[in-house]
Amino acid sequence: MEAEIISDSAPLHTLVADIMKAAPSARCFKDPTRGGVATSLNEIALNSNVAIALDEEKIPVLREVRGACEILGLDPLTIANEGKLIAVVPPDQAETALASMRNHPQGKAAAIIGEVLKDPEGMVFLRTEIGGTRVLDMLVGDPLPRIC
């Protein structure tokens, strides 16, 4: 397996400041370092009594990461993601927030990956590329040791 590996660790405070200017009613921000996107969104859904639906084809995952996860039997949505953030913003401010993120060096690959729903409370699910739906649970344990 050959790939150019670079650190994804990065400061996010200026990106958050830009998002707050573009979407002043932003609901929350979450760093998906521990447990990846799946665990982070489960924490948000559980603590906010909402459901979160993701669209698999909209989630930006590097080809190299997807390939390594397939080889190792890991879910890229539960892998630590440093230098990234999840932003929950009202639907009427989502496109403005997205444009702001994409204009920032740390947000070039930003995407709207899903939506917040009322029900079923505390659940995160993924609408798959093949038309199915699967529940995304919190990560249990640590699939990979942390280097830092």
Block means of pLDDT (10 residues each) for the chain, length 148 residues? 73 96 96 91 96 96 89 90 92 97 95 96 95 90 56
The answer to whether the bond into 120 is cis (omega within 30° of 0) is yes
Domain boundaries 13-135, corresponding CATH code: 3.90.650.10
Bridge-based pairing of strands 124-127 and 51-55 is parallel
Radius of gyration of the chain (CA): 15
Question: What is the reported pLDDT for 119?
Answer: 94
pLDDT at 138: 87
User: Cα 146 vs. chain centroid, distance in angstroms?
Assistant: 19
CA distances, 41 to each of 52, 123, 127 (Å): 7, 9, 15
- Closest Cα to residue 2, out of 63, 47, 81, 88? 63
pLDDT computed for residue 142 by the predictor = 59
- Tokens in use for 21? 């200017």
pTM: 0.87
User: Exposure string (b/e) for 97-130, b if CB count within 10 Å is 16 or more?
Assistant: bbebbeebebbeebeebbebeeeeeebbbbbeee
